[in-house]
Amino acid sequence: MPLPKDYENQRCSLARSLEILGERWTLLIVRDAFYGVRRFSDFADHLGIPRSVLAARLDGLVASEVLAKASSGDRGYAEYELTDRGQQLWPVIYGLICWGDENLAADGPPRLFEHARDGGRVQPDGVCSACGERVQAPDFQAVPGPGLRPLSDPDPVTAALSQPHRLLDDIRRPSASQPR
């Protein structure tokens, strides 16, 4: 018997949040959306997720208004972008990344996060070590960390993430905000 997807007897906002974000793969999809993954095939290739599961998770995130679906104009591929509601999840995602780096990354963090404006390291509380400002997701830049191990045949997302990359910028299209 499959587990229910809701927590109807719980009177708790965390339970409501888990109804949207608590299924396996969902937080990794949201993380990848922050990293700039937009295409279905890129999510599938980078995560190694079964396509039927990915389709269900993306549909759920769109229905919950965490992601929005749009045509890219590039041969009609559908693309997914974080909505304002989805972008509000960055402190949660970043907190989990920092917790994993602190407690589980034996070789060091695979990615470091900098303030794109001044290059200061962003601390776990979201504050830039250089300027003292609280950094918002669009102003984060992911850079390779000491724990990032190269793969012999990386998928396009993994290859792109081995270079500095500003959050929310499309992983497939360099933009003016990305370092060259």
Domain chopping of the chain, boundaries = 13-86, 89-166
Interaxial angle between packed helices 40-47 and 51-63, expressed in degrees from 0 to 180 and rounded to the nearest 10: 120
Residue 73: per-residue pLDDT = 63
**Token representation of residue 9:** 């007897």
What angle separates helix 90-104 from helix 26-35, to the nearest 10 degrees?
100
How are beta strands 78-82 and 165-166 bridged, if at all?
A: unpaired
Least Cα distance to 100 among 145, 155, 68, 162 occurs for 145
pLDDT in the model for residue 179: 45
Q: Which residues of the chain have pLDDT under 70?
A: 1-5, 72-75, 174-180
Query: What pLDDT does residue 70 have?
Result: 87
pLDDT recorded at residue 177: 45
Give the pLDDT score at 180. Answer: 36
Contact between residue 142 and residue 148 where contact means Cβ atoms under 8 Å apart: no
d(CA 69, CA 61): 10
CATH code for 13-86?
1.10.10.10
Taking only the tens place, the pLDDT of each residue in 141-178 is 999 999 998 888 888 888 888 999 999 999 987 654 44
Residue that the structure tokens 């995560």 belong to: 47
